Amino acid sequence: MSGHSKWSTIKRKKGAADAKRSKMFSRVSKEIQIAAREGGPDPEMNPRLRLAVANAKGINMPKDNIERAISKASREADSLQEVTFEGYAPHGVAIFVECLTDNNKRTVSNIRAIFNKRGGNLGTNGSVAYMFDRKGVITLPKGDLDPEEFELEIIDAGVEEVELEGDVFIITTALEDFGNVQKKLEELEVVPEQAELQRIPHETMQLEQDDALKVMKVIEYFEDDDDVQNVYHNLELTDSLVAAMDS
C-alpha cells in the first residue's frame, strides 16, 4: 500500500468521525460561494462549483443550504479570500493550512497564535509546500461494482492508483487528470462520496505515539478555527495511532 493513499484514507475516516456537521457545512458553503463567484452559478458550466455541490451532497447538506450558498456568491463571496500558511508543528512535522477568510488580519493572528502557543513555527510561503504534491483524491462506495472491471474502466482516464479499503474505493489522480477522471465516473453513473484536491506528502515521518498524539492535537486546533478549510501534514498515521486518537 502506498504511503499517500494510506494517509488519504485515514484522513477521510478521521475527518468523518471528528468533524462537527455545522463546521462541515460552513466549510463547504464557503467553497460553493468562491466557486460560484469565479465561474458562475451554473454547476453544469462551472466544474469547480459542480465539485463543491457534489461534496456538499456527500455530507448530506440540504438542498436549500446549497442553493442559499450559491445565491450568496454575488453578495458575499467578494469578501472571501483564499490564503495559505506553512510551518512546522512540534517535532518537525510539516503543516500546510488552507483558509477562506473575510478578515485576513484575524486569520493571520489566529494561525500564528496556534503555531506559537503549541510549540510550532510559522514559516514563509514555500517553506513546506515543496514537500507535498497536489493530487486528486476521490472516494466512492464499492456497492455492486466489480473491483477489477471498475479499475479497467477508469484506468485510461488518468488514474494513478485505485485501492479498495473495506467497502470504499480510494482513487488517486494527478492534478491535471482530476477533471477527466470525474467525467469518466459521470459516464459510468458512479457517484463519489467525496472528490477533492489534496496535498499529499512525498514522505511521511514517524513519531513515538505520545509525541504523535500531541502533534495531532495541534492539528485539531487548526481544524477548529472557523477560517480553516483544510490542514495537511506529513505525520505517519499508523493504525495504532488512529486507534489511540479515537479512544
Domain limits of the chain?
A: 3-79, 81-130+202-246, 133-199
User: CATH classification of 81-130+202-246 is 3.30.70.980, yes or no?
Assistant: yes
Cα–Cα–Cα angle for 197, 10, 226, rounded to 5 degrees: 60
Q: Give residue 106's identity as a one-letter amino acid code.
A: R
Predicted confidence at residue 24, as pLDDT, reads 82
Per-residue three-class SS string for 210-238: HHHHHHHHHHHHHHHCCCEEEEEECECCC
Specify the CATH class of 133-199 in words.
Answer: alpha beta
Enter the C-alpha cell of residue 172.
Answer: 488517486
pLDDT of residue 115: 97
Q: In what order do the strands lie in the sheet with 159-165?
A: 159-165, 168-174, 132-141, 194-201
C-alpha cell at 35: 466557486
Side chain identity at residue 236, one-letter code = E
- Contact between 109 and 99 under an 8 Å Cβ cutoff? The reply is no
Place of cell 497536489: 134
pLDDT at 74: 61
- Fold equal for 81-130+202-246 and 133-199: yes
pTM of the shown model: 0.81
Cell numbers 453578495: residue: 75
C-alpha dihedral sign at 217, 61, 185, 82: negative
Say if residues 222 and 232 touch (Cβ distance below 8 Å). Answer: no
pLDDT in tens, the chain (247 residues): 334 444 444 454 445 444 567 778 888 898 898 888 888 888 888 888 888 898 888 888 899 999 988 888 766 546 788 999 999 999 999 999 999 998 999 999 999 999 999 999 999 999 999 999 999 999 998 989 999 999 999 988 889 999 998 899 999 999 999 988 988 998 998 888 888 889 999 999 999 999 999 999 999 999 999 999 999 999 998 878 877 877 7
CATH topology of domain 3-79: Arc Repressor Mutant, subunit A (1.10.10)
